[in-house]
Amino acid sequence: MTAGPGPRDDTGAVVPVPGRVSRVVSLVPSLTETVAVTAPGLVAGATDWCTHPGGLDVPRVRGTKNPDLEAVIALRPDVVLANEEENRPADLAALRAAGLPVWVTVIRTLDEALASLRRLLMVACQLPVPAWLDAAERSWDRPDPPVRRQAVIPIWRRPWMVLGRDTFAGDVLARLGVENLYAGDAERYPKVPLDDLLAARPDLVVLPDEPYRFTAGDGPGCFPGLPAALVSGRHLTWYGPSLAEAPQILAAQLAAATPSRP
C-alpha cells in the first residue's frame, strides 16, 4: 500500500490505492473505455453495458446499478472505478467493506470530465496521460458558437424524461450552441408530459440514441414541425476517448436537424 492515508477521489474520500496497480474493475462504461484504450490489459472486469472498446474480452459483473459484488471481489482488483451518479452508494460501501479501494468520479461538466479523467488515470491507475486525452482537450478548446438554439433534450419516453439541471450532456450541448430549456429545473432528469414539452416552444429537439434509442421513426414525429436532431448518445453522454471526436460529430448531427412532419 502507499504510505500515508492515500489520495482522494472526486468525492473527497481517501482511497488506499496500492503502490502498484495491475488489475482494475470498472463499473462505468465510460471509465472502462478510458482505461482499456489507455492501457490494454489493465481492465480485469467490467459491466455488461461496457461495449467499448469493441472486442473487450473481460469477465462481466452485471450492470452499473446491480453489480455482482461477489464477482467483483473474486476478481481481486487493485482498484474499482465508479461514478457517483451511475453507481449505488450501498454497492460501493459493500466493496469498501470487503477491503477494495473504490475510486469514485463526479462529472457534471466537460471541464470536470477532463480533469477527473486525468486524475483517474494518473493517480488511481498510475498511468501516463494518454495522447487521446490531450487531443480531447484541444478539440474542445474553441470559442462559443455565435448562434444559440433553445432545445428540449428527451432521454426517455413512456414517460417522457428530459435533461434538467447540472448534467454533463447539457454542458456539452451548451458548448455547441444549444441551450437546454430545462436547465433551470429543480430535477436533473425531470419527467415532463409531451404537451408541456411542446408548450415550451423549443427551437430544436435533440434526440440521442441512448439511454432510450430514439430513431428517425421513433421520436421526431412527436414534435411535428420542429427541427429534430438525432445524435450519438455515446458522444453526448460518455466521457472518455470519444471526447476527442465528439465536437465534430455532434456539431454535424445538430446541423443536420430537419423539421419533422405531422
Q: Encode pLDDT of 190-221 as tens digits.
A: 999 999 999 999 999 999 999 999 999 999 99
Q: Where are the domains of the chain?
A: 24-129, 149-259
Residue type, 182: Y
Q: Is residue 31 predicted with pLDDT exceeding 70?
A: yes
Please answer whether residues 200 and 223 qualify as being in contact, where contact means their C-beta atoms are separated by less than 8 angstroms: no
> What is the percent of the chain with per-residue pLDDT over 70, rounded to a whole number?
96
Q: d(Cα 112, Cα 110) in Å, to the nearest integer?
A: 5
* pLDDT tens, position by position, 167-180: 999 999 999 999 99
Domain 24-129 has CATH 3.40.50.1980: yes
Mean pLDDT, range 81-102, rounded to an integer: 97
Q: Is residue 261 predicted with pLDDT exceeding 70?
A: no
User: Is the whole-model pTM more than 0.95?
Assistant: no
Alpha helix locations (H) across 68-149?
Answer: 69-74, 89-97, 110-119, 131-139
- What is the grid cell recorded at 152? 428540449
> What is the percent of the chain with per-residue pLDDT over 90, rounded to a whole number?
93
Q: d(Cα 173, Cα 187) in Å, to the nearest integer?
A: 18
Q: What is the pLDDT of residue 243?
A: 96
CATH match for 149-259 among 3.90.1170.50, 3.40.50.970, 3.40.50.1980, 3.30.460.10: 3.40.50.1980
Q: Please tell me whether the peptide bond between 211 and the residue prior to it is cis, using omega within 30 degrees of 0.
A: yes
Mean pLDDT, range 114-130, rounded to an integer: 97
Q: What is the pLDDT of residue 115?
A: 97
